[in-house]
Structure 1
Amino acid sequence: MIQEPTPSGDFEQARPAVPYGPALPPAYGQVPHPPHAPSHLRESTRPGVPGWIWPAVALLSLVLGLVGGALGAGLQERLDAPGLGLGSTGTRSAPPLEAGNSSVAAVAGELLPSTVQVLASSGDNSGTGSGFVLDTSGHVVTNNHVVAAAADGGRVQVVDHRGRVHEAEVVGRSQVYDLAVLRADGVEGMEPASLGSSVDLLVGEPVVAFGAPLGLSQTVTSGIVSAKDRPVTTGSESDANSFINAVQTDAAINPGNSGGPLVDIQGRVVGVNTAIATTGGFLAESGNIGVGFAIPIEQVKVTADQILRTGEARYPVIGARVDTRSENELAGAVISEVMSGSPAQSSGLRDNDLVVAVDGTRVTDGIALIVRIRTFQPGDTVEFTVRRGGDERTVSITLGSEVG
Structure 2
Amino acid sequence: MSDTDNTGPASDDAPAGFPYEAPIEYEPTTPYELPEEMTPPGGDETRADTQPPPYESPYGVQPAVAPYPEQTPPQPYAEQPTYAGQPQYQQQYPPQQAWGAPVPPPYLSVPAPPKPERARVPGWTWPLVSVLALLLGIGGGFLGGTLANDDNNSSGGVLKVERRTAQPLPDDNASVATVAQKLLPSTVQIVAEFGGRAQGATGSGFVFDKQGHVITNNHVVAEAAEDDGPIDVIDQDGVHHKATVVGRSPVYDLAVLKVDDSANLQPAAIGSADQMRVGETVIAFGSPLSLSASVTSGIISAVHRPVSTGDGDDASFINAIQTDAAINPGNSGGPLANLQGEVIGVNSAIATLGASAGQEGSNIGIGFAIPIEQVQVTADQILRTGKAQYPVIGVSVRGTEGGGGAEVKEITAGTPAASSDLKVGDVITAVDGDRVTNQTDVVVAIRSHLVTDTVELTVKRGSKTLKIKVGLVAKTG
Is the Cα–Cα contact under 8 Å of residues 232 and 243 in structure 2 kept in the other structure?
yes
Provide Cα deviations, 1:333-363, integer angstroms capped at 9, x if missing partner.
Answer: 1111111121111112111211111111111
Q: Secondary structure at the match of 2:449?
A: coil
Q: Secondary structure at the match of 1:225?
A: strand
For 2:428, the aligned partner's letter is V
Look up the match of 2:287: 212
Query: What pairs with 1:1-400 in structure 2 (closer than 5 Å)?
Result: 3=3, 98=172, 101-121=173-193, 123-124=196-197, 126-152=200-226, 153-235=228-310, 237-239=311-313, 241-282=315-356, 285-324=360-399, 328=401, 330-400=403-473
Q: Distance in 2 between matches of 1:361 and 1:161?
A: 42
Q: Secondary structure at the match of 2:387?
A: coil
Provide Cα deviations, 1:241-274, integer angstroms capped at 9, x if missing partner.
Answer: 3000000000000000000000001100000000
User: Hey, which of these two has a bigger chunk of strand by percent?
Assistant: 1
Look up the match of 1:47: none
Q: Secondary structure at the match of 2:242?
A: strand
Q: Distance in 1 between matches of 2:445 and 2:285?
A: 27
Question: Residues 183 and 339 (structure 1 numbering): CA distance in 2 closer, same or farther, change over 3 Å?
Answer: same
Greater C-alpha Rg = 2
User: Structure 2 length normalisation: TM-score?
Assistant: 0.62
Q: Distance in 2 between matches of 1:143 and 1:241?
A: 13
Provide Cα deviations, 1:111-168, integer angstroms capped at 9, x if missing partner.
Answer: 0000000111153361100000000010000000000000031111100010000000
Question: Residues 328 and 148 (structure 1 numbering): CA distance in 2 closer, same or farther, change over 3 Å?
Answer: farther
Structure 1 residue 239: Cα displacement:
4.9
Structure 1 residue 282: Cα displacement:
4.5
Structure 1 residue 238: Cα displacement:
4.7
Question: Residues 208 and 345 (structure 1 numbering): CA distance in 2 closer, same or farther, change over 3 Å?
Answer: same
For 1:359, the aligned partner's letter is D
Question: Residues 198 and 129 (structure 1 numbering): CA distance in 2 closer, same or farther, change over 3 Å?
Answer: same
Q: Secondary structure at the match of 2:243?
A: strand
Q: Distance in 1 between matches of 2:171 and 2:372?
A: 18
Look up the match of 1:59: none
Provide Cα deviations, 1:168-219, integer angstroms capped at 9, x if missing partner.
Answer: 0000000000000000012243211011001111111100000000111000
For 1:356, the aligned partner's letter is T
Is the Cα–Cα contact under 8 Å of residues 97 and 266 in structure 1 kept in the other structure?
no
Q: Distance in 2 between matches of 1:252 and 1:319?
A: 38
Structure 1 residue 102: Cα displacement:
3.8
Structure 1 residue 288: Cα displacement:
0.4
Q: Secondary structure at the match of 1:290?
A: coil
Is the Cα–Cα contact under 8 Å of residues 234 and 274 in structure 1 kept in the other structure?
no
Question: Residues 380 and 300 (structure 1 numbering): CA distance in 2 closer, same or farther, change over 3 Å?
Answer: same
**Aligned residues: percent identity?**
56
Q: Secondary structure at the match of 2:376?
A: helix
Q: Secondary structure at the match of 1:345?
A: coil
Question: Residues 350 and 253 (structure 1 numbering): CA distance in 2 closer, same or farther, change over 3 Å?
Answer: same
User: Structure 1 length normalisation: TM-score?
Assistant: 0.73
Q: Distance in 2 between matches of 1:169 and 1:396?
A: 42
Q: Secondary structure at the match of 1:343?
A: coil
Q: Distance in 2 between matches of 1:171 and 1:314?
A: 15
Q: Distance in 1 between matches of 2:356 and 2:223?
A: 26
Structure 1 residue 379: Cα displacement:
2.1
Is the Cα–Cα contact under 8 Å of residues 205 and 214 in structure 2 kept in the other structure?
yes
Structure 2: any 5+ residue segments left out of the alignment?
5-169
Q: Secondary structure at the match of 2:201?
A: strand
Provide Cα deviations, 1:52-101, integer angstroms capped at 9, x if missing partner.
Answer: xxxxxxxxxxxxxxxxxxxxxxxxxxxxxxxxxxxxxxxxxxxx974xx3
Structure 1: any 5+ residue segments left out of the alignment?
5-95
Is the Cα–Cα contact under 8 Å of residues 381 and 388 in structure 2 kept in the other structure?
yes
Q: Distance in 1 between matches of 2:323 and 2:476?
A: 30
